[in-house]
């Protein structure tokens, strides 16, 4: 996420745990932050995985 956005490390370290906490309570979740689409979803073993996609 840092490489995709150029945001500082502290900002990313604050945001990512919040996204995972939300997804752990609500299932699959998708956000856009700093021009990057973030998807967090459980896999077949119910572990949360995260993907990043930079919008152009």
**What is the secondary structure of the chain as a DSSP string?**
-HHHH---HHHHHHHHHHHHHHHHHHSSEEEEETTEEEEEEE-TTS-EEEEEEE--
pLDDT at residue 6, rounded to an integer: 77
Helix (H) or strand (E) holding 30: strand 29-33
pTM above 0.85, yes or no: no
Per-residue pLDDT at 11:
81
Task: Determine the 3-state secondary structure of 4 from DSSP.
Answer: helix
pLDDT tens digits for range 10-56: 887 888 888 888 888 888 888 887 788 989 998 888 899 888 888 76
């Amino acid at each position: 996420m840092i490489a995709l956005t150029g945001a500082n490390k502290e900002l990313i370290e604050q945001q990512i745990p919040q996204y995972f906490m939300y997804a752990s309570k609500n299932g699959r979740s998708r956000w856009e932050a700093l021009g990057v689409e973030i998807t967090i979803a459980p896999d077949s073993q119910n572990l949360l995985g995260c993907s990043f996609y930079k919008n152009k």
